[in-house]
Amino acid sequence: MRRVRLLPLHVLVLTSLLPLGREALPVVINTWPFRNASAAAWSVLQSGGSVLDAVEEGCARCEIEQCDGSVGYGGSPDETGETTLDAMIMNGDTMEVGAVADLRRIKNAIGVARAVMERTDHTLLVGESASVFAENMGFIAEDLTTNKSVNIFSQWLKGNCQPNYHKNVFPDPSKSCGPYKPRVTLEQRRRQDNMLSHDTIGMIAIDQDGHVAAGTSTNGLTHKIPGRVGDSPIVGAGAYADSSAGAAAATGDGDVMMRFLPSYLAVELMRAGADPSAACKAAISRIKRHHSEFFGAIICANTTGHYAAACNKAPGLSQFRYMVSNSESNTPLLKTVDCF
Ligand SMILES: *[C@@H]1O[C@H](CO)[C@@H](O)[C@H](O)[C@H]1NC(C)=O
Ligand SMILES: *[C@@H]1O[C@H](CO)[C@@H](O)[C@H](O)[C@H]1NC(C)=O
Ligand SMILES: *[C@@H]1O[C@H](CO)[C@@H](O)[C@H](O)[C@H]1NC(C)=O
């Protein structure tokens, strides 16, 4: 997957001329250069929609466009070749959250997440049951497989199922496709696939009145063990929003990142007075202490619409790009931050 892409020169010049810290409300910020998602969310706010509508529309745009192959149908097939989706949406006014994980056969994962929030007392529905719920709510069941995902899957099978996320099992997962059984002797094996398929859309929207919402959508990690759920649908990990403090959304190696609740941490730091940049950096630093080379980034915004991002310098990630839409311009702006 193309991760390090070159930045068009004119965009570089434009972004470098923009003064930092002068941004006004409303604002939409999202991970990665998913421009159409940003534009979609922005136009919802401009036409009077709520921040929840904006986040839902923005993330849904990525689900339709299959952003980077890592959001929506037809990407990141698991060990059985199936694409499953994770998504979450959070209302920073009420602290309500709706999320789905391991969602099968339904393309509009963020829409189902919102239905969980608005049409149940629950927070997170998973797997087959989440799909049944979605169908009952009127979402259409469709095959999420595409020729592309079939191809990714068959290449993986041909390559002895590498990368492979089993450990402490036999036969040796660095050479074989399983099935695997537990092993008595512990055998540590470093994960090989640091760089692939961790893109996720995470989005924050704040309107003129300071209503804050955040959301995420992803198809997870390619070749994951079926049932694996990453950070995206986990509150405080993939995203967090609190209209009294701000919002954050994270992207990267979810298996590691979710153990540190980076989005929650960043929002709490902003509540305690940290500016968005310091909050983002602190959330990354916390993970870095234990995983110096983890692949990941986070975006942060406080209640006045000031925003920042931070990323961990790792093989394949020296800069992180994200999108911002606000009243500065009519078009989403591509922002770049150097990783540390
Ligand atoms: C973004 O939207 C434009 C206009 O609808 C479309 O032509 C383009 O293909 C979209 N970009 C992506 C990456 O899907
Ligand atoms: C997918 O592959 C099948 C053959 O395996 C082919 O008939 C079909 O046209 C392909 N679809 C697309 C969209 O490329
Ligand atoms: C948000 O952060 C900016 C610095 O980037 C700071 O000037 C502003 O006061 C902060 N807003 C709040 C509500 O803390």
Secondary structure (DSSP) of 226-268: TT---STTSBTTTEEEETTTEEEEEEE-HHHHGGG-HHHHHHH
pLDDT class of 20 with cuts at 50, 70, 90 = very low
Q: Is the Cβ–Cβ distance between 295 and 252 less than 8 Å?
A: yes
Mean pLDDT of the chain: 89
Bind-site residues: 228-231, 251-254
Checking if the pLDDT of 335 tops 60, the result is: yes
pLDDT confidence of residue 199: 78
State residue 232's pLDDT score.
97
Q: Tell me if 31 sits within 8 A of 299, measured CB to CB.
A: yes
Asked whether the beta carbons of 70 and 197 are under 8 A apart, the reply is yes
- Residue of 31, 200, 216, 303 with catalytic role: 200
Mean pLDDT value across residues 9-37:
64
Q: Can you give the pLDDT at residue 196?
A: 53
Grade residue 235 by pLDDT with cuts at 50, 70 and 90: very high
- Output the CA angle 82-86-92, nearest 5 degrees: 175
Strand partners, 212: 206
**Residue whose CA is at the smallest distance from ligand 1 atom 2:** 36
Question: For ligand 3, is residue 243 a contact (CB within 6 Å)?
Answer: no
Can 200 be counted among the known catalytic residues?
Answer: yes
CB 206 less than 6 A from any atom of ligand 3: no
Residue 198: the pLDDT is: 63
The ligand minimizing its distance to the Cα of 148 is 2
What's the pLDDT tens digit per position in 21-34?
435 799 999 999 99
**pTM, to two decimals:** 0.85
**Percentage of the chain surpassing pLDDT 90?**
83
Mean pLDDT of 63-72: 94
The domain 9-15+22-146+193-338: what is its CATH number?
A: 3.60.20.30
* Atom of ligand 1 at shortest range from CA of 36: 1
C-alpha 36 to ligand 1 mean position (Å): 6
**Nearest CA residue ID for atom 9, ligand 1:** 65
- Ligand sitting nearest the alpha carbon of 149: 2
Q: Of all protein residues, whose CA lies closest to atom 14 belonging to ligand 1?
A: 65
pLDDT at 329: 80
Per-residue model confidence (pLDDT) at position 321: 96
pLDDT of 328 reads: 79
Q: Is any atom of ligand 1 closer than 6 Å to the C-beta of 328?
A: no
Q: Could you tell which of 204, 206, 243, 275 is best to mutate to test the pocket of ligand 3, judged by most ligand atoms within 8 Å of the CB?
A: 275
CA distances in angstroms from 338 to 34, 154, 319, listed in the order given? 18, 36, 4
Tokens encoding 231: 């950070």
Structure confidence at residue 3 as a pLDDT band (50, 70, 90):
very low
What digits encode the pLDDT tens for the residues 294-331?
999 999 999 999 999 999 999 889 999 999 999 878 79
pLDDT in tens, 271-300: 999 999 999 999 999 999 999 999 999 999
Pocket test for ligand 1, best of 34, 65, 67 (most atoms within 8 A of CB): 65
Ligand 3 geometric centre to CA of 268 (Å): 14
The response to whether residue 65 sits with its C-beta less than 6 Å from ligand 1 reads yes
Q: In what order do the strands lie in the sheet with 239-242?
A: 239-242, 246-252, 296-302, 307-311
Q: Where are the beta strands (DSSP E) in the chain?
A: 27-31, 85-91, 96-103, 124-126, 169-170, 181-182, 201-206, 212-218, 239-242, 246-252, 296-302, 307-311, 319-326, 333-338
* Closest ligand 3 atom to Cα of 246: 13
pLDDT of 330: 77
Q: What is the pLDDT of residue 19?
A: 39
Q: Report whether 263 contacts 248 (CB < 8 A).
A: yes
Mean pLDDT confidence for 120-125: 98
User: pLDDT of 166-205, one tens digit each?
Assistant: 998 989 999 999 899 887 654 443 344 444 556 789 999 9
Cis check for the bond before 179: say yes or no (omega within 30 of 0).
yes
**Residue 282 carries which side chain, given as an amino acid letter?**
A
Domain extents in the chain: 9-15+22-146+193-338
H or E stretch including 150? helix 147-158
